[in-house]
Structures are given as C-alpha cells and as structure tokens.
C-alpha cells in the first residue's frame, strides 16, 4: 500500500499544476503526463538527491509501486543513484492513476478536455476522493 503522506503530496502537486494549465486542452489519458512534462523533459524532480532519497526511504509501499511501474514500463532506475528520476516516475504514474479515478478526466479519456476554471475545480474536488490504494 502506498503511504498516505505520498498520496497527499502527489494530490497537492496535481492540484497546483492543474492551475497552471488553465486555458489549455489536453486528452484525459495524457493529463497526468502533461502535468509532469517539464520534469520529465529533464528526467528528474529537482528537490535534491538527498531529499528524494529521504522521501523514498520513508515510503516502502511507494518504492514497491515504483519498482512495479518501472518493470511494466521496461525502464530501469536505481533508487540510490537515480533517486530524482526514480521519484519522478513514481509521481507521474501515481498521478496518472489518481486522475484516472476522476470522473471528469475518465469521461474525456480519449477526447480533449478543456481545462477552464470550472473543469479544474471539478477535477480538484474529485482528486480529494481518489484512492490509488483501492485501484490496484
């Protein structure tokens, strides 16, 4: 099971980043990846390797989730050497799964979703009820 603190961090990150996307259109299935696109381009979350490792060390359930996702994606990152990229994969994949649970996003999974202020508010509200531990 993924630790609740991690889920809350990812939820908060998604909500913050949604605000930055107001006025854009994106396919529902791509929203989770789009929200982390700047990080993904650089290959890491820049909070520092030690901070990333501290987060990961305190979240064994999240580490297991990331390992499973990396295997499914046929990717390989070492938690110790590549902690920023490793954590990024976890945030992106957990974020994607949480967004899948949002009705507004799932209803537009294969269609463009216009991210106006009301749609962002709806997704943000729905994220409050997303439980990725129940989705596995």
Q: Which domain holds residue 23?
A: 4-134
pLDDT at 42: 65
Contact yes or no for 95/33 (Cβ under 8 A):
no
Of 93, 56, 57, nearest to 73 by C-alpha is 93
Q: How far is CA 116 from CA 16, 19, 23, 26, in A?
A: 14, 9, 5, 11
pLDDT at 136: 44
Q: Which tokens in the block code for residue 117?
A: 């202020």
Total domains in the fold of the chain: 1
Percent of the chain residues topping a pLDDT of 90:
73
Residue 76 has a CB neighbour count (10 Å cut-off) of 9
pLDDT tens string 53-71 = 889 999 999 999 999 999 9
Q: In whole angstroms, what separates CA 69 from the centre of its chain?
A: 12
pTM (predicted TM-score): 0.89
Q: What is the mean pLDDT of the chain?
A: 91
Q: In whole angstroms, what separates CA 63 from the centre of its chain?
A: 14
């Amino acid at each position: 099971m993924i630790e609740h603190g991690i889920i809350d961090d990812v939820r908060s990150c998604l909500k913050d980043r949604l605000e930055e996307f107001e006025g854009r259109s994106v396919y529902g299935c791509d929203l989770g990846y789009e929200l982390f696109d700047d990080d993904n381009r650089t290959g890491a979350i820049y909070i520092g390797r030690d901070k990333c490792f501290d987060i990961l060390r305190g979240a064994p359930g999240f580490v297991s989730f990331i390992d499973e996702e990396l295997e499914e994606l046929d990717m390989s990152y070492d938690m110790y050497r590549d902690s920023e990229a490793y954590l990024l994969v976890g945030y992106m994949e957990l974020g994607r799964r949480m967004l899948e649970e949002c009705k507004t996003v799932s209803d537009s999974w294969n269609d463009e979703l216009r991210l106006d202020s009301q749609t962002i508010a709806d997704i943000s509200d729905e994220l409050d009820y997303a439980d990725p531990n129940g989705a596995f």
